Amino acid sequence: MAPYSAYLNGTELTSGRCDVKGHHAESLSLSTHRSKIDVYYERRRLAAASDALNAVWDDFKGTKLDASTWDAMKSSGLSGGHANLYQKEKIFFECYHAGWGAGIKLNEPVDIAGGSVSVRLKSGGYVVSEVGILPSYRPVFIAPGTGDGYVTGLWEWGVNKFHIYRGSGGPVLSKPGFVGNPETIKFTLDDDNVVHIFEENNEVFSEPYPYDTTLCNIYLSGVSWYWLGGGVSWADNFVYVSG
């Protein structure tokens, strides 16, 4: 049974041993849910190094965005409208008029190899709610279908209520309905370099990962996809876990 230690911001929280299958699960009581947690699993005797598990978890409690984790962003359309971003137990995207949007992104790229990204999304009206996972060489997110990476989201009043975009062009998956609104979206990249995307724990899309790098920027965003239309969307309970 391999020993392990768990650290929160460099301070050891707990230690022990994994079970016979090399796994361990433990509930940690944290003063805040938005801290970065490193868990180190020591290798067998005589091994020189240890594996590191990096995690970012934010349930957006309170009213102030964690600037140590996220960068805020906004976009504007060609005609008059507005976009507001605010936090109130969730992160909200309030947008009106086509092209107006708001969002956040992790302020550092993360490695998705062998890891996972999950978030709970809700679309309101004509405003989509999306999670974008884009290769780090593409630092600016404009809109789904405009460059390398994956964008998965919901659109309450749209035709493609559940959609996945990969690269440039139209969606690689579009459905006229969704399991629920809100619902949890999960993205994983397995050890065989295969992408899996889940909607409420059901796999809906899979393909070989097409990009040269697994270092990615992660975005949560909302954009109005309708002329003279808008709404309020949100994201909650974001979790990234490395491989």
- Residues 111-145 have pLDDT tens digits of 999 999 999 999 999 999 999 999 999 867 767 77
- What is the percent of the chain with per-residue pLDDT over 90, rounded to a whole number? 63
Who has greater pLDDT, 21 or 216? 216
Question: Which pLDDT belongs to residue 53?
Answer: 65
Question: What is the CA angle 114-104-76, rounded to 5?
Answer: 135
Q: Provide the mean pLDDT of the chain.
A: 83
**What separation in angstroms does the CA of 78 have from each of 24, 48, 97, 198?**
52, 57, 9, 34
Mean pLDDT of 69-82: 89
3-state helix, strand, coil in the chain (%, to 5): 0, 55, 45
Q: Identify whether 96 is part of a domain.
A: yes
Residue-number span of the structural domain to which 117 is assigned: 70-241
Kindly tell me if the per-residue pLDDT of 179 is higher than 60. yes
My answer on whether 30 and 104 are in the same domain is no
Strands (E), 34-126: 36-42, 50-58, 70-75, 82-87, 91-96, 101-106, 110-111, 116-122
Confidence of residue 79 (pLDDT cuts 50, 70, 90): confident
Question: Which pLDDT belongs to residue 205?
Answer: 98
My answer on whether 23 and 76 are in the same domain is no
Confidence of residue 208 (pLDDT cuts 50, 70, 90): very high
My answer on whether 51 and 152 are in the same domain is no
Question: Which pLDDT belongs to residue 43?
Answer: 35
My answer on whether 173 and 231 are in the same domain is yes
My answer on whether 76 and 186 are in the same domain is yes
Question: Whole-structure pTM over 0.95, yes or no?
Answer: no
My answer on whether 101 and 192 are in the same domain is yes
> Taking the mean position of all CA atoms in its chain, how far away is CA 146?
19
What pairs with residue 158 in β-bridges?
none
Q: Identify whether 61 is part of a domain.
A: no
Q: Which two tokens stand for residue 119?
A: 């978030």
Question: Which pLDDT belongs to residue 175?
Answer: 94
What pairs with residue 217 in β-bridges?
134
Question: Which pLDDT belongs to residue 48?
Answer: 28
Kindly tell me if the per-residue pLDDT of 51 is higher than 50. no
My answer on whether 224 and 108 are in the same domain is yes
Mean pLDDT of 204-232: 95
Q: Which residue has the tokens 């979790």?
A: 239
Let me know how long the chain is. 243
Tell me the per-residue pLDDT of 152-174, one tens digit each, with 9 for 90 and over: 999 999 999 999 999 998 999 99
Who has greater pLDDT, 233 or 24? 233
Kindly tell me if the per-residue pLDDT of 209 is higher than 90. yes
Tell me the per-residue pLDDT of 100-112, one tens digit each, with 9 for 90 and over: 999 999 999 999 9
What total number of domains does the chain contain? 2
Kindly tell me if the per-residue pLDDT of 6 is higher than 70. no
CATH number of the domain that residue 214 is part of? 2.60.120.200
Q: Which two tokens stand for residue 35?
A: 């801290």
Q: Residues near 243 by Cβ (< 8 Å), separated by ≥ 6?
A: 111, 112, 113, 114, 115, 189, 191
Q: Identify whether 64 is part of a domain.
A: no
**What separation in angstroms does the CA of 136 have from each of 86, 213, 218, 219?**
26, 8, 9, 12
